Copies of this chain bind each other. A is one copy, B any other.
Amino acid sequence: MTLATLLSRLDAKAHAAADWGAVAAYIPQLACVNPAQFAISVALADGSLVSAGQAKTRFSIQSVSKVFTLACVLSRIGESIWARVGREPSGDRFDSILLLEQEQGRPRNPFINAGALVTTDELLAGRAPREALSEVLEFLRVASGDDDIHIDSAVAASEQATGYRNIALANYLKSYDNLINEPDLVLGTYFHQCAIEMTTEQLALAGRGIAGLPGAPLLLSARKRRRLAALMMTCGHYDGSGDFAFRTGLPGKSGVGGGILVAVPGVASVAVWSPGLNAWGNSKVGTEAIETLAHKTGWSVFG
């Protein structure tokens, strides 16, 4: 079976799903998205790109953006971020504030909301939000080789209006002096970064560097690329990270918009999208598709 056939079958299987999961209700603009949608794109080491489903439909990448903000910070600023954020899975929900109190304002990792706010704060570092956002967008455009990547400002505004939990997190971080900028500035930048919209085609292409595919634009050293992948493996799916690693054997990062970026080191970069979420806030049908893909192809970092 060719990869194209396999992806088509995954698309068909997705549409046969009895339960697509529930869209994220806490962001009004996302709450009205139809959950019964699916797309998958795979960029291969030979430079080809194979897709199925709505691979040209833009969706809100949300927390998948955390991988790229961290990539920007690691490549431009370096490792100083680790003085402010840990590298351990949290075992808690993506928006949990509990450990932040127990661990005195130091988030467990850069892929939960608290840690991502610190990463965005580090990225800002005295600059205007516009500059920081341009850096992330530029990184994505170069990485994917596609300039047509933008921010959906309606989604950003929607989250800004009701993102009480994130506002709480940012202010809590600030109370522990773990934000340099004022909370509102960091939040504004963060909500816009999360509101970047991409297609699975664009996202799969943007992930080629993290997967270490030959021919990908060189934006990260091998060491940094591996470290990003390691963080995706242990922390990329919040309190469902262990289960995702167990099921797929692959590093991935999910977003509440329903997107997941998965790296198959040296082999492929995979982007999947389906807006309905499972209990951990990760794409339900998307996770299932990655699991089947890994199973059928034998792709796994564990040999």
Chain B neighbourhood of A233, CB < 8 A = 233-234, 245, 302
Contacts of A229 on B, CB cut-off 8 Å?
249, 302-303
In the bound complex, CA of A222 to CA of B263 (Å): 20
Which A204-236 residues have a C-beta within 8 angstroms of B? Answer: 211-212, 222, 225-227, 229-231, 233-235
- A interface, over-half SS: helix
Interface assignment of A181: CB less than 8 Å from any CB of chain B: no
> How many monomers of this chain does the complex have?
4
Q: Mark contacts of A86-118 with chain B using CB atoms, 8 A cut-off: 1 yes-contact digit, 0 otherwise.
A: 111111000011111110000011000000000
Pair B234/A302 contact, Cβ less than 8 Å:
no
CA distance A87 to B108 in the complex (A): 19
A241–B265 Cα distance when bound, in Å, is: 20
Interface residues on chain A, number (Cβ under 8 Å) = 55
Instruction: Please tell me which stretch of A16-24, A119-127, A146-154, A163-171 contacts chain B, meaning at least 4 of its Cβ atoms lie within 8 angstroms of it.
Output: A163-171
| Nearest Cβ on chain B to A178's Cβ, whole angstroms | 11
A243 at the interface (CB under 8 A from B): yes
A38 interfacial by beta-carbon distance below 8 Å: no
Question: Within 8 Å of chain B (Cβ to Cβ): is A174?
Answer: yes
A292 at the interface (CB under 8 A from B): no
A residues 131-175 in Cβ contact with B at 8 Å: 164-165, 167-169, 171-172, 174-175
Contact of A164 among B87, B171, B241 (CB under 8 A): B171
Chain B, Cβ-Cβ closest to A210: B302
Q: Taking CB as reference atom, which chain B residue is nearest A250?
A: B230
Q: Supply 29 A–B pairs (Cβ within 8 Å), ascending by A.
A: A87-B246, A88-B240, A88-B242, A91-B91, A91-B99, A97-B100, A97-B101, A97-B172, A164-B171, A164-B174, A165-B175, A167-B171, A167-B183, A168-B175, A171-B171, A222-B298, A226-B302, A226-B303, A229-B302, A230-B246, A230-B302, A231-B242, A233-B234, A233-B302, A234-B246, A263-B302, A265-B301, A266-B303, A301-B301
Q: Chain A residues in contact with chain B, CB under 8 A? A: 26, 86-91, 96-102, 108-109, 164-165, 167-169, 171-172, 174-175, 183, 211-212, 222, 225-227, 229-231, 233-235, 239-243, 245-246, 249, 251, 263, 265-266, 298, 300-303
Query: Given known contacts A97-B172, A212-B303, A233-B234, what 11 new A-B pairs fall within 8 Å (CB)?
Result: A26-B175, A88-B239, A88-B241, A89-B242, A90-B91, A98-B101, A98-B102, A164-B174, A230-B245, A233-B302, A301-B301
